[in-house]
Structure 1
Amino acid sequence: MGSLKPNFLNTETVHLSELVSAISTALDMTEGQPIGHCVRSCWIGIHIGQEIGMSEEDLSELYYMILLKDLGCSSNAARICQLYLTDDQKFKHDFKRINGSLPQALRFVLSHTGLQASLSERFQAIIKILQDGGEIARELIETRCHRGAEIALKMRFSEKVADGILNLDERWDGKGLPSAVSGNNIPVFARIALLSQVIDVFLTSEGQDAALGEVRSRSGSWFEPEMVSAFERVALRPEFWEELNNEDLQNSIHNLVLPKHDVTVDEDYLDNIAAAFAKVIDAKSPFTNGHSERVMGYSDLIAQKMGLSESKRRWLKRAALLHDIGKLGISNSILDKPGKLTDEEFAMIKMHPVYSVNILKNISAFSDISPIAGGHHERLDGKGYPYGLTDNEIDMDIRIVTVADIFDALTADRPYRAAMPMEKAISIMDDMVDTAIDSQCYKALKDVLQEISTINSSLQDTLTQIMQKETI
């Protein structure tokens, strides 16, 4: 790969529909689904919505709801690994195929729990799941659905969109999760989204006939019978199926629904979306909680110290917030592993910057920051990853985020060690100057940390004086 040069002057107009459609691919990765799952589900759902007579305005809201249905997917990944001693992505992929019957559920637990663990660990995990399975399932889905709805609101989507995400796993017969809502009490967006999701899962794994057969078998239990009938009518149209294989499916959906209801995303909205999606990224692991926000903060302080303009700093903050988006494609069995990684596992870790580039470069609003996400683990001496770039190939913007990322990684808890005191982190980074990290960026960080320490010390002295006066 050539040099990484972020394009700060990208001025392309950004439409919300395109941004959300493109960013949904990151959610597909986290759910272990083939890329395009959310987009295909959206195409299916929009046709069902049209068939039952939804208004244009509701169809446009349904578009966003289905694309963002998995916004909370990262929040239960670590818990799945912990409970089932398994790869969360494989688990999630296969879990979407079971119909909830007891025989299927038992087979699923036995075939997905602790396959790489010791016999005793696997036995204990299976016993716990069999004893507390109902509560475990409710906990996992409740965490996912509530978190997804919360993030959707932070991204400025409507209550209708958030309620659809919140109720995605409810079933027509009232046996769904997390709240056992039934029938028409389930928001129509959620009813359509769940049906569309199941159709795509079976379509991509077994084909058109299997998808039709599966939803028919769940009519009246999982799905509203009238909704299944509406899909059966849609399924009679050959062009409906043909378009599902179209590489330009995103644009086909947009032209079908959104010309009158799309919006242009301004700079403030882009900031909101980047900040909200950073929460999706950081929720992937308990060890990365708040990481993206802290890297953003450190990066901005370094950039300010180095005299970067306000507009450049704003742009760089978005890059810092999304620099780890590729981690959504890495299993928590690797991300949260407490012991030494195998060579194969470390090779997977080294792929996350590549995944970040692949996601961001296809989002026009964020394509200009993709080189920063791809380069934040490179080193000046060429010993970094994933591309092995050297000094003159690494842009200053990448160097700033790299210094911020390393400092936060050292001073935060990790699966294999506790957080380091700041003094120890600084000592380690001192030895990395001009081999791994840029001296100018690092000096700016140290200057900022010293200023913060001085201010904190001054505040502490003032507080002590005030308390002493009050006790006299």
Structure 2
Amino acid sequence: MRLAEELDLSAFDRVALYGALLLKDAGCSGNVSRVSEVLQPTAASVPWHPVMADGNSAGNDGAGFLARFSRRFRKTAAVPDPAVDIVARAERSEGIAARLGFSRATTEAIRSIDEHWNGEGYPDGKIGHEIPQFSRIILLAQTLDAFHTELGVAAALRIARERSGTWFEPSLVRIVRGWRDDVGWWESLKSPDATAAALALEPTQHTRFVDDSGLDEIARAFADIIDSKSPYTYQHSTNVARYARKIGRELGLERDDAATLNRAALLHDVGKLGIASGILNKAGPLTADERRQMEMHPRYTWEILQRVSAFAGFARTAAFHHEKLDGSGYPWGVKGDDLDTAARTLAVADMYEALTASRPYRASLSRDEALKIINTTAVCPIATEALASATRASVPRLELEVSSIRRTR
């Protein structure tokens, strides 16, 4: 946004740019390939940023970071093609922004963030001023941020200079190089108050008002963002909402209550956005510390939703999806009468979806196997029976719908 100020962008343009900054990674299941590409040294910078073949640095902090990054992900069975990942991320993020009602300027900016000034970027190979201005700004800003966070101001400005004319628009690079001596500003980017400061930059015209159907679309879009956090939970929230609606119909929920339950189901895992991808994607049992971190996600869900007036009414329901009637659930150990029908329904729907979905450490379970396990836990027997009835009445159609959603990746 500092670039926007120095370029004297209009109020409309600042709104579009801010929206693109917020949603640029909305469709990203993980930033591994993106961060790897951003931090990969260019040919010109190899002497400054060397990484030995065995993963050891040659006495350089930047190389040490890349070595640590490499070791962290070396055990990945199949390394995805960065180009494919970038194109998929661009298309998903662009689609989510469009569904949320953002302007065409914002969606086009999101799509073209990984285009390079020299025409060698993705997804469309645009060159120079063919690339939307906001995209050019964001690519430079996020690269500066990556290098500044890990290696400092000098490294960030050096990579900007080295990639000027290849990745970045030269005139933008000249502007940011003029910030070299603004020590206080660079230090503020690492301050605990940096997030609050960034949110304070939101243009006043950015506020939008929506009706119930718009609220449902926002919930569905954010469910996609949540589920993109990990490839192993792709469409999990959407499927949980599908099962929750089935249970709600069996229980005879009123229309408004059913709509609220659907939104709670779509957003119940929003707290996972605060959990490290390495934990979410781990193909095996979690350590005690990892389990502790994972079990914090319902608390994060509560903290996020209760701050949004449109979502505060179901924040409690959404956050209670791992609680059990006997108090053995987490993170609060809520039990009995403190769990209303909606919370109990969501807990059953969430458990059923998780059990019947494939995971890296086990195959998916059948309907009967999943229901048998659920019946042995301290979740709501009434909601469980409603789920059994709903799935028994439409097993072929419902399971076909859910399986189809899971395959759309």
Indicate the TM-score class for this superposition, using the shorter chain for normalisation: 0.7 to 0.9
**Which among 201, 220, 237 is matched to residue 292 of structure 1?**
237
Which piece of structure 1 moves more, 96-105 or 335-344? Answer: 96-105
Query: Which digits, 9 at most, give the CA deviation of each residue in 1:143-165, with x for residues without a partner?
Result: 22222112222222233222211
1:252 maps to which residue?
200
Matched-pair contact (CA < 8 Å) for 2:358–2:364 = yes
Q: Give 1:405 shift.
A: 0.7
1:157 aligns with 2:99: no
Q: Give 1:386 shift.
A: 1.8
Query: Which digits, 9 at most, give the CA deviation of each residue in 1:36-79, with x for residues without a partner?
Result: xxxxxxxxxx33224324332222111111111111222xx3xx
- Letter in structure 2 aligned against 1:423: D
1:419 aligns with 2:364: yes
Matched-pair contact (CA < 8 Å) for 1:167–1:187 = yes
1:67 maps to which residue?
22
Q: Give 1:234 shift.
A: 7.3
Distance (whole Å) between structure 2 residues aligned to residue 106 and residue 169 of structure 1: 24
- Letter in structure 2 aligned against 1:61: A
Distance (whole Å) between structure 1 residues aligned to residue 42 and residue 333 of structure 2: 47
1:170 maps to which residue?
115
Structure 1, unpaired ranges of 5+? 1-45, 81-87, 130-134, 457-472
364 and 249 in structure 1: CA distance in 2 versus 1, 3 angstrom threshold: farther
Paired residue total: 380
408 and 328 in structure 1: CA distance in 2 versus 1, 3 angstrom threshold: same
331 and 95 in structure 1: CA distance in 2 versus 1, 3 angstrom threshold: farther
**Which among 43, 56, 70 is matched to residue 113 of structure 1?**
70
Q: Give 1:207 shift.
A: 5.5
Matched-pair contact (CA < 8 Å) for 1:243–1:249 = no
- Letter in structure 1 aligned against 2:322: H
Query: Which digits, 9 at most, give the CA deviation of each residue in 1:235-269, with x for residues without a partner?
Result: 88899779866574356323xx334x643132222
**Which among 195, 201, 214 is matched to residue 269 of structure 1?**
214
- Letter in structure 1 aligned against 2:313: D
Matched-pair contact (CA < 8 Å) for 2:375–2:381 = no
1:462 maps to which residue?
none
Distance (whole Å) between structure 1 residues aligned to residue 142 and residue 181 of structure 2: 19
106 and 155 in structure 1: CA distance in 2 versus 1, 3 angstrom threshold: farther
Matched-pair contact (CA < 8 Å) for 1:52–1:230 = no
2:170 maps to which residue?
225
1:49 maps to which residue?
4
**Which among 276, 284, 300 is matched to residue 339 of structure 1?**
284
How does 1:41-440 map onto structure 2 within 5 Å?
46-74=1-29, 77=30, 88=32, 96-101=38-43, 103=46, 104=49, 110-115=67-72, 136-205=81-150, 211-212=156-157, 214-231=159-176, 248-249=196-197, 252-254=200-202, 257-259=203-205, 262-432=207-377, 436-440=378-382
52 and 336 in structure 1: CA distance in 2 versus 1, 3 angstrom threshold: closer
454 and 320 in structure 1: CA distance in 2 versus 1, 3 angstrom threshold: closer
188 and 181 in structure 1: CA distance in 2 versus 1, 3 angstrom threshold: same
Distance (whole Å) between structure 2 residues aligned to residue 349 and residue 366 of structure 1: 23
Matched-pair contact (CA < 8 Å) for 1:339–1:416 = yes
Structure 2, unpaired ranges of 5+? 53-62, 399-409
Query: Which digits, 9 at most, give the CA deviation of each residue in 1:197-232, with x for residues without a partner?
Result: 233334545565665555344433332122233445
213 and 276 in structure 1: CA distance in 2 versus 1, 3 angstrom threshold: same
- TM-score, normalised to structure 2's length? 0.79
1:15 maps to which residue?
none
**Which among 376, 382, 391 is matched to residue 449 of structure 1?**
391
Distance (whole Å) between structure 1 residues aligned to residue 349 and residue 215 of structure 2: 22
180 and 320 in structure 1: CA distance in 2 versus 1, 3 angstrom threshold: same
1:22 maps to which residue?
none
Percent of aligned pairs sharing the same letter: 36
73 and 289 in structure 1: CA distance in 2 versus 1, 3 angstrom threshold: closer
Q: State the structure with bigger RCO (CA 8 A, min sep 6), 1 or 2.
A: 1
Distance (whole Å) between structure 2 residues aligned to residue 154 and residue 139 of structure 1: 23
233 and 342 in structure 1: CA distance in 2 versus 1, 3 angstrom threshold: closer
355 and 113 in structure 1: CA distance in 2 versus 1, 3 angstrom threshold: same
Tell me the C-alpha RMSD between the 2 structures: 3.4
Matched-pair contact (CA < 8 Å) for 1:174–1:181 = yes
- TM-score, normalised to structure 1's length? 0.70
